[in-house]
Chain A
Amino acid sequence: MTDTSANRPGSATSLITPDARTKRRNRAEARFKVYGITAIGIGLLFLVVLLGSITVNGLGAFQQTFVNVPVYLDPAKLDKRGNRNIEEMKKVSTFGYNPLIQQGLLDKAAELGIETPLKKRKQMKAMLSASAAAKVRDFVLANPETLGQTVEFKLLAASRVDGYLKGRVQRKDVARDKNIDAEHLDLTDSLVAAGVVAKTFNLSFITGADASESRAEQAGIGVAMLGSFFMMLVVLVLSLPIGVAASIYLEEFAPKNRWTDLIEVNISNLAAVPSIVFGILGLAVFIQVMHLPQSAPLVGGLVLTLMTLPTIIISTRASLKSVPPSIRDAALGVGASKMQSVFHHVLPLAMPGILTGTIIGLAQALGETAPLLLIGMVGYIATNVPDGIAAGFLDPNSAMPAQIYEWAKRADPAYYERAWGGIIILLVFLLAMNIIAILLRRRFERRW
């Protein structure tokens, strides 16, 4: 028999002076703790990098470079007959306006005494957004009396010029760029110094519509925001009542039988089905079988409803469960029917929890992209604000996350900035929804 008392942990040594083994074990303990701290540190670092790169890259989208150009609205060009007939003036396309604007910019540069080798009108094209002519034309058609005057317009600068001001376009890149030359950048520098070209807050990024691939400076997320809004309406109107009804049944009435079990299993599995599969469902059932219109927020809303339902059902059941049975007993005790006890007493008490769950479910749906790709909410370029409520539900549109995806796919890096900017807006919405949910929970939370 071995004598183990020699290495007894306690008796041989004093408690005050740890033995070598204890020291080693304590070092292992400290090491283990460091692993934990490191893991959390890395997790938080990722969060900081993520939010940091969103902010750094995205804030630029809220500012846009504008050029202040005095344009002489030449009646000889814009109204050849001289009779101020709007219908006839409409025949002059934006091609007729471009030279006037370009000339205006040339003149402005000359007036400021800026030396530039760019003497031709055509060379000014690279400075201005292709949308500039349309803006001037709209103005003229709305105000035909201004013909013959020189009007100062605040026009969007070209995407490259905007990129130069924001540091996205570097002088070394320009050599390979057919859209802009170094001379344009020199001119830009001078115009910035003169205050003709400047970056200002760009409201139309938030309210505007998407633009074609070559006009990054014009693109906005407003129309996609409307698409998301109509989708969320559909989700709210369908998933809240259906989810609450389903939860009430499962929590309060369902007998223990096979059908109930089947429903339970289905709900817990649907909660974990990849979102893209819901997209496939939407494509196959809503579009191919039911022939609902493609790219419509209605269909997007239906798909997202099916996706959000499990979330809402799970949280609603949790809040129904948290209402103590004594409340039900009290209602039944005064002769209310089971249905009355649920609808008059249990449901109102569970309402804050239900609303919190619904808002969180909606937030999840708002950020979801993959199923929307399949029902065609992405190939469509959201250029028009829907006219009317029905059109809002049925006309093709995009949604915020789908619009962000669309921008991220485009080749022009100018669109990346807009994608990041779109993310800021999306996250602001999500943040607001989550804060509302937290406030609701704080305000109405009840401990039984």
Chain B
Amino acid sequence: MPVLWLFLIVLAIAALGFVLGRRRALKSADGESRRLHSLPIYYGTNAAMKVAVPALGLLCLWLLAQPLYVNSRVAATIPDAAIAEGSTLGLVMSDVRRVARGLDLAVVEGAMTAPQAASLDAETADVRQELASLGVALGSTVTADTLRAAQDYRAYSTTGTLMMVVAVLFAAIIGCGWALRETDRDFRARNVVERGILVLLIAAASVAVLTTLGIVLSLIFQTYEFFTLYSALDFFTLLEWAPSFSGRGGASSLGLLPLLWGTLYISMVALLVAVPIGLFSAIYLSEYASSTVRSFAKPMLEVLAGIPTIVYGLFALLTIGPILLSVFGDDTLGWMQGQRAVLTAGVAMGIMLIPFVSSLSDDIINAVPQALRDGSYGLGATKSETIKQVVLPAALPGIVGAILLATSRAIGETMIVVLGAGAAARLSLNPFEAMTTVTAKIVSQLTGDSDFASPEALVAFALGMTLFVMTLGLNVFALYIVRKYREQYE
């Protein structure tokens, strides 16, 4: 674990820098801390900061960049001939990495010495057998090219790691020296430290941007790769979802529309459950309920919001499904064949969304000024007339925003549909049939045994992109509406 050790060594140098910086500052002021520009602790912190921040930053960057660099260097050495029919460079490279990891393991376990691993020859040794005995399973026999590439890979990695250790330690020591040199009684240590902290704060705040960037980039790259293997037109227009199980493209039809339909249908059922119940609960709680009822019913409803979605998934599959089946199933009406159905998932999702709709609507209804209600009561309107004709119309934009947010939650919900909705993609209007959704297919395409370079797996990223764009659009629009609504009454 050289990284961990490196990390600890850098921290140790930083601690040393702290002590030295503090001592040096005090010494420059003849031990009289009042003569210093800043408190002594700031001189120490300055030194520690100048050791740790550049060194650890370099470490992180190196760790991110090295695999990419090594990968591309090694990939460039693999001849086109080594890529078998139907395979891709990506697949070969994942083999290479697996072999390299196997060789590492072999050295660690003592089954080979390092030079042995480096000079191993595919002609003479059965690498697959040898690695299997160490618990590294390989899909196929190791070709000479793969083995050589793996050995290169190890060599580059080792050199890279060595260089990293040297560079990081160098950065740490330079930082320490720099900080100690500038330490002096007139040095404005506090200002420097505070500026450093501010930079760290900005970096932390930027993590959100990086996350979004990471999401967008990973979706875009993989979606692009998918569209090089599979026609974008087919993806958006085909009415059939039937991935072949061979995992090598060709016979698959990967049409988005049936999945989108399932997603929207289930979301619609969920909203049909959640919106009336949530909205009426919110109206009752904010306009009618006494404070006792409110203080009991509101937290109770909000318990529903704190329950993880896996629970709703199980509830859909094992409670709602069987109940619906006993009402609409073969024994009675014969409309429903299995417990997984649009209705099953929709109802469970609706229950999950009730507190979401009700607490958002509650906030929005409470934001309607009391003066409007008074105006209506003063004209002799009843409460319900006031609610229906004054409060709700005034709150309408906000409520629409809340419903849009709920829709976006429903579209992005995964566990309930994975367990409750079924696996078959269908374009049908029958709510008693099993259907599947975008999210459920993302899970099933990425958790199988298929490799990540096949269109069957990559399609998940295109689905993820669709999902991301849809929910993002809904959210931005909904937040815009809600914000506008709030401004109106502020």
Contacts and interface: CB of A to CB of B under 8 A. Distances in A.
- Chain A–chain B contact at Cβ < 8 A: yes
Interface of A: 9, 25-26, 28-29, 31-33, 35-40, 42-44, 46-47, 49-50, 53-54, 57, 241-243, 245-246, 248-250, 253-254, 262-263, 266-270, 272-278, 280-281, 283-285, 288-291, 306, 309-310, 313, 337-339, 363, 366-370, 373-374, 376, 378-379, 390, 401, 404-405, 408-409, 416, 419-420, 423, 426-427, 430, 434
Given A9-B380, A40-B285, A274-B412, A378 B447 contact: yes
Contacts of A248: 201
Contact of B319 (A31, A53, A268): A53
A33 B204 contact: no
Contacts of A28: 382, 384-385
25 contacts: A9-B380, A36-B284, A39-B276, A44-B300, A44-B301, A46-B354, A47-B304, A50-B307, A242-B204, A266-B212, A269-B472, A270-B211, A273-B215, A276-B439, A276-B443, A284-B214, A285-B214, A288-B452, A290-B63, A309-B211, A313-B208, A369-B310, A405-B419, A408-B313, A416-B318
B311 A54 contact: yes
B219 interface: yes
B314 A430 contact: no
Nearest to A238: B207
Given A268-B479, A306-B211, A373-B447, A285 B280 contact: no
A50 B221 CA distance: 42
Contacts of B412: 273-277
A250 B201 CA distance: 9
B471 A274 contact: yes
Nearest to A285: B214
Contacts of B190: 337
Nearest to B471: A274
Contact of B304 (A29, A43, A270, A366): A43
Contact of A249 (B202, B219, B300, B419): B202
B200 A280 contact: no
A246 B208 contact: yes
Contacts of B200: 245
A434 B415 CA distance: 22
Contacts of A53: 315, 318-319
A248 B198 CA distance: 10
Interface in B275-315: 276-281, 283-285, 288, 297, 300-301, 303-304, 306-311, 313-315
A268 to B, nearest CB: 6
Nearest to B63: A290
Contacts of B460: 280
B204 A245 contact: yes
Contact of B314 (A245, A313, A423): A423
Contacts of A366: 308
Nearest to B442: A276
Contacts, number: 263
Interface of B: 1, 63-64, 67-68, 97, 190, 194, 197-198, 200-209, 211-212, 214-215, 218-219, 221-222, 276-281, 283-285, 288, 297, 300-301, 303-304, 306-311, 313-315, 317-319, 351, 354-355, 358, 380, 382-385, 387-388, 405, 408-409, 411-415, 418-419, 439, 442-443, 446-447, 452, 460-461, 464, 467-468, 471-472, 475-476, 479
A50 B209 CA distance: 38
- Closest 8 pairs between A and B when the two form their complex, measured CB to CB: A274-B412, A367-B308, A36-B284, A284-B218, A39-B280, A245-B204, A32-B384, A249-B201
B205 A245 contact: yes
Contacts of A249: 198, 201-202, 204-205
B306 A434 contact: yes
Contact of B215 (A277, A290, A426): A277
Contact of B443 (A368, A374, A404): A374
Contact of A284 (B197, B222, B387): B222
A241 B205 CA distance: 11
A285 B218 contact: yes
Given A57-B318, A266-B208, A363-B306, 14 more contacts: A25-B385, A28-B385, A29-B385, A39-B280, A43-B277, A249-B201, A254-B205, A269-B476, A277-B471, A289-B68, A408-B314, A416-B314, A426-B311, A430-B308
B202 to A, nearest CB: 6
Contacts of B317: 408
A306 B443 CA distance: 19
B439 A42 contact: no
B284 A37 contact: yes
A177 B224 CA distance: 50
Contacts of B281: 36, 39-40, 43
Contacts of B284: 33, 35-37, 39-40
A49 to B, nearest CB: 7
A280 B219 contact: yes
A374 B204 contact: no
B177 to A, nearest CB: 26
Given A284-B218, A405-B419, A246 B382 contact: no
A275 B412 CA distance: 7
A269 B64 CA distance: 26
Given A309-B211, A369-B415, A289 B319 contact: no
Contacts of A40: 280-281, 284-285, 297, 301
B354 A266 contact: no
A408 B300 contact: no
A427 B307 contact: yes
A49 B277 contact: no
A281 B467 contact: no
Contacts of A245: 200-201, 203-205
Nearest to A244: B204
Contacts of B439: 274, 276, 370
